[in-house]
C-alpha cells in the first residue's frame, strides 16, 4: 500500500506524518528539530526529514 506523496512526509525512519496535521516545527537542542502535531504530540525529526519538511512546507 502506498500513501499519497503530496499528503504525507517521512520525518524520521520510524515516522511518517500527514502534512495537514502539522502544527509547527521547532528547534530541539542545538542542531535538531521536533515536529508538533495539531493533537500536541511531539515527534523527533531526522536531518533528512528536516530537509524534506523544508521543501514540502516552503520554509
According to the model, what pLDDT value does residue 24 have? 92
- CA distance linking residue 31 with residue 1, whole number of Å: 34
10-37, pLDDT tens digit by residue? Answer: 999 999 999 999 999 999 888 899 999 9
According to the model, what pLDDT value does residue 6 have? 79
pTM for the model: 0.81
- CB neighbour list of residue 20: distance below 8 Å, 6 or more residues apart: 7
In contact, 8 and 18? CB cutoff 8 Å: yes
- CA distance linking residue 58 with residue 1, whole number of Å: 27
In contact, 11 and 45? CB cutoff 8 Å: yes
Q: Enumerate the domain spans of the chain.
A: 8-57
Per-residue pLDDT band for 8 (boundaries 50, 70, 90) equals very high
Q: How many CA atoms lie within 13 A of 27 on its CB side?
A: 3
Amino acid at each position: 500500500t502506498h500513501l499519497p506523496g503530496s499528503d504525507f512526509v517521512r520525518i524520521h525512519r520510524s515516522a511518517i506524518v500527514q502534512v495537514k496535521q502539522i502544527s509547527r516545527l521547532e528547534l530541539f537542542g542545538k542542531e535538531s528539530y521536533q515536529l508538533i502535531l495539531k493533537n500536541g504530540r511531539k515527534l523527533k525529526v531526522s536531518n533528512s526529514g528536516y530537509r524534506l519538511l523544508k521543501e514540502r512546507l516552503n520554509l
